[in-house]
Amino acid sequence: MCVLLAYEAPADSMIVRLSTAFSSDDVLEIHILFHELISCAYEDNYASGNIWQNYLTHFILSNENFFSLSCERREAPKGSLRDIALHDFEAFMRLFNLDNEHMHYIDNFIGNEHNNSPVCEISKAIAESRTSQKIYDIVTNFYRRHGTGQFAFYKAFRFDGENIVPVENKNVGDVRLDDIVGYDIQKQELRENTEAFLSGRPANNVLLYGDGGTGKSTSVKALLNEYYDDGLRVIEIFRHQFRDILKISEMLRKRNYKFILFIDDLSFEENESEYKYLKAVIEGGIETRPDNILIYATSNRRHIVREIWSDRDDMEHNGDIHRSDTVEEKLSLSSRFGIAINYSSPTRKMYHEIVLTLARKARLDVPDDVLISGADRWEIRHGGMTGRAARQYVDYLLGRK
């Protein structure tokens, strides 16, 4: 009986049900459970090798308990906690090596090129282990390097109102900052701030502002892909969830990761007041922001909140100084971001360079002069010279090869 894992293995769990089915030789139940195991394996991307062993490995690597969380924080378990864990790994080893005549159905799946889960690698290492101490070392090393729970397996997340839920890694893509043509100064500033954050040095909230389609959101995705192995995770927050940011922060405060709360396309009309709540949450409330959380936002507006000329009607006069309380209130949100990075539309020369670079990466066999003349016609009808327009143009050509 596992002590640390017992509360995660109720009577209707896969582990208990399969062990019971093997004991009673209930063939129908065994095959039903095998079907569930196969579904889990493909859903969680470990359908390679022995999927029973992979299932158990995924179970223990993603199980959040006192032991796994202490390892994630790099606190070496001592005394009773370590003894209990070793006891659990002995029980785990017996389950892992469960033998039954039906097991051949699920003990040799052939993986595919899209299988990149660490579960299969760890599962093989556990299978080669002969002692609970060796399994203990393998699993705790994983906890220390990658953490535990869903944060160990996914890069990006959303908040569903109650829980933080993962976004499939394949949906995040694998874009890197070097894939974004131009904007070298902007990318370097993003790198420096993010690296300071990851190293525990002071870092700022960041506002990426400028014209649409210039790569602001893509830059944040690229940061995630480049610094994922350093413990960076991104949680996307939508405008209607600003009131939940404190709740989310509490859920993340004690985790040994660095989190960027990402707000895409942040803007407010002049009659919307949600920005006041966000302003207090970012900086200024009584509760300080956890050291492992920053906010990165993108906006087409430098000052986020729409301003109108009537905002200046309450202007005060004092010599040559002019100050409007309404204007100052609306500017105060953007001032909470310590770093503001401008992504303006590229020059025509840069736009051509983006098109040619994307075409070469796609191995598009079209002469450069034809590409450039086509790109110029494309941008006139598709929103101007932006990286997004360049990508859409190249995709259009690829679709007609």
DSSP state of 285: S
Write down the pLDDT at residue 9.
Answer: 52
Q: List the pLDDT tens digit at each of the 401 positions of the chain.
A: 455 654 445 445 777 788 888 888 888 988 898 898 899 888 888 888 899 999 999 989 988 888 899 999 888 788 888 888 888 898 889 888 888 788 888 888 886 655 567 899 999 999 999 899 999 999 999 999 999 999 998 999 999 988 999 998 877 888 899 888 888 999 999 999 999 999 999 999 999 988 888 889 999 999 999 999 999 999 999 888 888 888 899 899 989 999 999 999 887 666 656 666 676 667 655 566 788 999 999 988 766 555 443 444 455 544 444 445 444 555 666 677 889 999 988 889 999 999 999 899 889 889 999 999 999 999 888 878 888 899 899 999 998 86
Token pair for 292: 């492992």
Write down the pLDDT at residue 103.
Answer: 84
Residue 49: name the closest of 127, 104, 120 by CA. Answer: 120
Write down the pLDDT at residue 284.
Answer: 56
Q: Are 160 and 208 in contact (CB under 8 A)?
A: no
Write down the pLDDT at residue 307.
Answer: 47
Write down the pLDDT at residue 7.
Answer: 45
DSSP helix/strand/coil, 316: strand
Write down the pLDDT at residue 199.
Answer: 94
Q: Are 207 and 242 in contact (CB under 8 A)?
A: no
Q: What is the pTM of this model?
A: 0.81
Write down the pLDDT at residue 308.
Answer: 44
Write down the pLDDT at residue 61.
Answer: 92
Dihedral sign computed on CA atoms, order 10, 14, 19, 22: positive
Q: Are 344 and 211 in contact (CB under 8 A)?
A: yes
Q: Are 266 and 303 in contact (CB under 8 A)?
A: no
**Per this entry, what is the length of the chain?**
401
How far is it, in rounded angstroms, from Cα 59 to Cα 260? 27
Write down the pLDDT at residue 203.
Answer: 93
